[in-house]
Amino acid sequence: MRLFKLKRNNLFPFLRGLEGFGELWGPVRKGRKVVYARAKPEEFDLEALRTIIPAKKFFLPPRFTALKFRDNTWEDDYRPRRKVIFGLHPCEIHALNIYHRFYTRLFTDPYYERSKEATLIVGLSCVPDDHCFCYATGTSTVNEGFDLFLTDLGDRLLVWVGSPRGEESLKLVGKFLEDVEQKDISDYVAWRKRRDAAFKLKVDLDGMPEIVSFSYDSPVWEKMGRACLSCGTCTMVCPTCTCFDLEDEYDLKRAEMHRERFWYSCVFREYSMVAGGHNFREARSERLKLWYTHKLVGFMSEYGAPACVGCGRCVVSCPVGINVISVVRALRQERTTALWTKMEVKDA
């Protein structure tokens, strides 16, 4: 992995140079929220911590046409446009690494593969806020899954080259880069210490697979289920959730059909519905248990790490405070002030 430095006043020209690869997207302020949007480098919010919807939307969009049937022929014309995605933080890149393992492990999803091939990933360092807990999940730093990664040291940025595609992109922007010196490395080490000390939200994930498994009949799930709205927000904003559904849309007059693929959620009531109307997870508590068992047990058993990267999106998004932090603390029988633990609601 090669390392260069970039002067601060060359950042925007550097990003404009990357447009030689494809459309430039990055974090843009929208009211009090941040979204990934196509914009000029000057419009990017370099201090943004989390977008509403994660970067997985670039690799498998929330909804797209997977197949078309017309003139008695099936057509697959999903061809994503080439993009440069700037501003992905370490936790977001870790999430994309999970996404990659999921969609290539048994067989490669062709739609994901095309999007991956059409995307240049440019990461950016960050300093945590009160909702970040990626330090606890081991995802506060990243060594793979990006093409370029920028660490902001104030008057300059360190530029890590993480892939052959990143090396190729240097043909577009290499003129802006300089060799690093010992002072740059020393300043980076000092920055890492300050950044690590800035984490305020603490959560102990040690032993969680066993704790979740032993707590399968805990009353915590029922209490959580009575508060849950089954809105699916947690799964839509989660950067590692992969559930999707397919739906055929017919036009009988024109003998045409579209097969639509869209994000889905295991907390939706219909998720576990089968033929005949039987629902294996009718209760909201059972659906929540499924989600957290996958995040904290199933994925860890398979890959050695939880399917949570500590981005904090579930913390800021759930209306009733059901999130990884509050659930872990409740299962560990620790004190939590989450709204769902205080709510008095009728049984589901």
- Report whether pLDDT(346) > 70: no
CA distance 111 to 60: 7
pLDDT band at 348; cut points 50, 70, 90: very low
pLDDT per residue as tens digits for the range 254-285: 788 999 999 999 999 998 888 888 888 999 99
CB burial of 15-40 (b: ≥16 within 10 Å; e: otherwise) equals: bebbeebbebbbbbeeeeebbbeebe
- Angle, CA of 295, 296 and 297, to the nearest 5°: 105
pLDDT band at 344; cut points 50, 70, 90: low
CA distance 126 to 90: 8
CA distance 17 to 188: 25
Q: Phi and psi (nearest 5°) for 340?
A: -65, -25
Structure tokens at 128: 């945590």
Minimal CA–CA distance to 77: which of 87, 68, 85? 68
Judged by DSSP in three states, 36 sits in strand
pLDDT per residue as tens digits for the range 47-59: 999 999 999 999 9
Q: What is the pTM of this model?
A: 0.93
The residues, any chain, with a CB within 8 Å of residue 288's CB and separated by 6 or more, are: 221, 224, 225, 228, 267, 322
pLDDT at 302: 74
CA distance 108 to 115: 12
Segments in 138-262 forming alpha helices (H): 164-173, 182-197, 208-214, 219-227, 233-237
Q: Which sequence spans correspond to the domains of the chain?
A: 2-61+75-197, 208-248+264-341
CA distance 22 to 83: 5
Q: Is 309 exposed, middle or buried (0-12, 13-18, 19+ CB in 10 A)?
A: buried
